[in-house]
Amino acid sequence: MSKPSSDYLFQLVKSLSKSEKRSFKLYASRINSREEKKHLLLFDLLDKQKIYDEVQVLKKEKTLNPAQLSNMKAHLYQQILQVLKLSNSGQVIDMQIRDMIDYAQLLFNKCLYKQCVKMIDKAKKIAIQSDRSILLMDLLELEKNVVSQTIESNNVNRVNGIVDETEHVAESIKNINIFSNLSIKLNSYYSNMGFIRNKKDFDDVQNFFNSSLPAYKEEKLSFHEKLYLYFSYVGYYFFIQDFTSGYRYAKKWVRLFDENPEMIVPKLEMYIKGINNMMVAQFKLLNYREFAETNKKLQAIPAIPGIKITDHVRMILFKYSYVNAINLYYMRGDFKGGISLVSDLEEGLEKFVSRLNKHSLIIFYYKIACLYFGNDNYKKALVWLNKIINSKDVDLRQDIHSFSRILNLICHYELGHAELVEYQLKSTYRFLLKRGNLGKFQKIILGFMKKLTHNTANERALIMAFRNLKRELLPLVDSPYDKKAFIYFDIISWLESKIEKRPVQEIIREKVKNITKEK
Tens digits of pLDDT across the chain (519 residues): 334 344 888 989 988 888 889 888 888 777 666 777 788 888 888 888 888 888 888 888 777 878 888 888 888 999 999 888 887 776 778 888 999 999 999 999 999 988 999 999 999 999 988 888 889 999 999 999 888 777 666 677 778 888 998 998 898 889 889 998 988 888 887 776 666 777 888 888 889 888 888 888 999 999 999 999 999 999 999 988 899 999 999 999 999 999 999 899 888 999 999 999 999 999 988 888 899 999 999 999 999 988 888 888 888 999 999 999 999 888 888 888 899 888 888 888 887 777 788 888 888 999 999 999 988 899 999 999 999 988 877 677 777 888 888 889 889 888 888 778 777 888 888 888 877 767 788 888 888 887 776 655 567 777 888 888 888 888 888 887 777 677 777 888 888 888 988 888 888 888 877 776 665
Distance CA 271, CA 276 (A): 9
Q: Residue 61: inside a domain, yes or no?
A: yes
Q: Residue 330: inside a domain, yes or no?
A: no
Distance CA 426, CA 280 (A): 34
User: What end-to-end distance do the CA atoms of the chain give, in Å?
Assistant: 60
Tell me whether residue 412 is exposed, middle or buried, using C-beta atoms within 10 angstroms of its C-beta: 0 to 12, 13 to 18, 19 or more. buried
3-state secondary structure of 49: coil
Contacts of 327 (CB under 8 A, 6+ apart): 279, 283, 291, 367
Contacts of 466 (CB under 8 A, 6+ apart): 495, 498, 499
Q: Which of 88, 111, 145 represents a domain boundary (last residue)?
A: 88
**CA separation (Å) from 3 to 43, 73, 159, 439?**
18, 15, 56, 43
Q: Residue 503: inside a domain, yes or no?
A: yes
The predicted pLDDT at position 228 comes to 93
Closest by CA to 286, choosing from 50, 514, 19, is 514
Boundaries of domain holding 503: 392-519
The predicted pLDDT at position 518 comes to 61
pTM score of the predicted model:
0.79
Number of domains observed in the structure of the chain: 2
The predicted pLDDT at position 344 comes to 83
The predicted pLDDT at position 433 comes to 80
Angle between helices 398-414 and 378-389 (to 10 degrees): 150
Q: Residue 430: inside a domain, yes or no?
A: yes
The predicted pLDDT at position 4 comes to 38
3-state secondary structure of 287: coil
Q: Residue 401: inside a domain, yes or no?
A: yes
The predicted pLDDT at position 39 comes to 83
Q: Residue 144: inside a domain, yes or no?
A: no
Angle between helices 491-500 and 504-518 (to 10 degrees): 120
Q: Residue 58: inside a domain, yes or no?
A: yes
The predicted pLDDT at position 51 comes to 85
CB-based contacts of 489-492 (< 8 A; 24+ apart in sequence): 489/370, 489/403, 489/406, 489/407, 491/445
The predicted pLDDT at position 331 comes to 83
Distance CA 148, CA 137 (A): 17
Q: What are the helix (H) ranges across 300-417?
A: 311-332, 335-339, 342-352, 358-374, 378-389, 398-414
Q: Which of 68, 88, 108 represents a domain boundary (last residue)?
A: 88
Q: Residue 519 half-sphere exposure, CB side, CA atoms within 13 Å? A: 14
Q: Which of 41, 69, 88 represents a domain boundary (last residue)?
A: 88
The predicted pLDDT at position 153 comes to 61
The predicted pLDDT at position 266 comes to 85
Q: Residue 356: inside a domain, yes or no?
A: no
